[in-house]
Amino acid sequence: MGAYLLRRLPSALVVLAVASFAIFAMVRLVPGDPVATLAGPDASPEARAEIAAELGLDQPLVTQYVTWLGQLAHLDLGTSYRIGGQVSDLVADGAVNTIVLTIAALLLAVAVALVSSVLAVVLDKRWVNAALSFGNTLAIALPTFVTGLVLILLFAVVFPVLPAGGTPPDGFIARPDIAAQYLLLPAVCLALGAGAALTRFLTEALRTEMRQPYVTTARALGISRRRIVLTQALRNALPSTITVLGIQFGTLLGGAVLVEAIFTWPGLGGLIEEAISGRDYPLVQVLLLLSVAVFVAVQLLTDVVHAWLDPRVRIGGAA
């Protein structure tokens, strides 16, 4: 496994390097000037030039990019233009809430996919398949903001059993007794689409396994359909599903920005919006690169888990 990981690592580093350049370039292509934003409309040219020199924005773009890479190499994420303070501190404050929300949504999506797929294949009834297909299509087709508003309307207004948004007043660690109440609605909203996609893929993977010769042999020996699904088919379908799970994690990260806005969840989503609207180059660059880095790390982890579950992947990669 160590050798397989070493073979996969260089490509991940190349992706991060290309992403850093693309992010740096795209941020500067966005209309707007951070110097004009900071100086105000009535600032003199001299004042603007002084601010640009202070921020290093008077340097050539290549010099700015190399300087930024050097700061990242020393774990210096820079200073926010608009908000003030170290970017690392700002990211750390919002990252905890975003990570909690994303992991909760991921666990919900996996649980829904496992239960739904196994039930559909074990029961093998037409009405179950029709209900599952309808539910998957609805969950994928509905926009996230519509799902969020419906959940708030049902469970915070019509039946006020859950808070409409926010987080526990003193944080999750200080108030674990009520943390689930604040987390449930945004996590469900974020998990629905990913759960439906995972359910659809895993169900088809299980059905493919159930058409394999070993299943016919097992059935001839009198082994029940439920036992075959749980002990053999599910295990064989998991490796390919793990890869899809890694992709869905990236979808959850992107969707978290919108979900946080709907449920006033104080995560990285609001920070990204504020940084982009304020042309805060250091903060935007770090947030976008961090998103790419997390996605690449998750993809690398899913590849390793896939190779661990399916030795053929390791053998194929070594060939």
pLDDT tier at 319, thresholds 50, 70, 90: very low
Q: What is the pLDDT at residue 105?
A: 93
3-state helix, strand, coil in the chain (%, to 5): 80, 0, 20
Under a CB-based contact definition with an 8 Å cutoff, are residues 249 and 107 in contact?
no
| Sequence-distant (≥ 6) Cβ neighbours of residue 104 within 8 angstroms | 183, 187, 191
Query: Is 62 within 8 Å of 69 (Cβ atoms)?
Result: no
Distance CA 295, CA 196 (A): 20
CATH fold of 98-278:
MetI-like fold (1.10.3720)
Q: Model confidence over 211-238: pLDDT tens digits?
A: 999 999 998 999 999 999 998 899 888 8
Alpha-carbon distance of 112 to 200, in angstroms, equals 11
Residue 226: name the closest of 210, 238, 212 by CA: 210
**pLDDT band at residue 23 under the 50/70/90 scheme:** very high
- Per-residue model confidence (pLDDT) at position 265: 86
Burial class (CB in 10 A: 0-12, 13-18, 19+), 41: exposed
What 3-state class would DSSP assign to 42?
A: coil
Note the pLDDT of residue 201: 92
pLDDT tens digits, 64-98? 899 999 988 888 888 888 777 888 888 887 888 88
Residue 204's pLDDT band (cuts 50, 70, 90): very high
For the chain, the structural domain boundaries read 98-278
What's the pTM? 0.82
Residue 191 clears pLDDT 50, i.e. is over it? yes
- What is the distance between the alpha carbons of residues 77 and 79, in angstroms, rounded to a whole number? 7
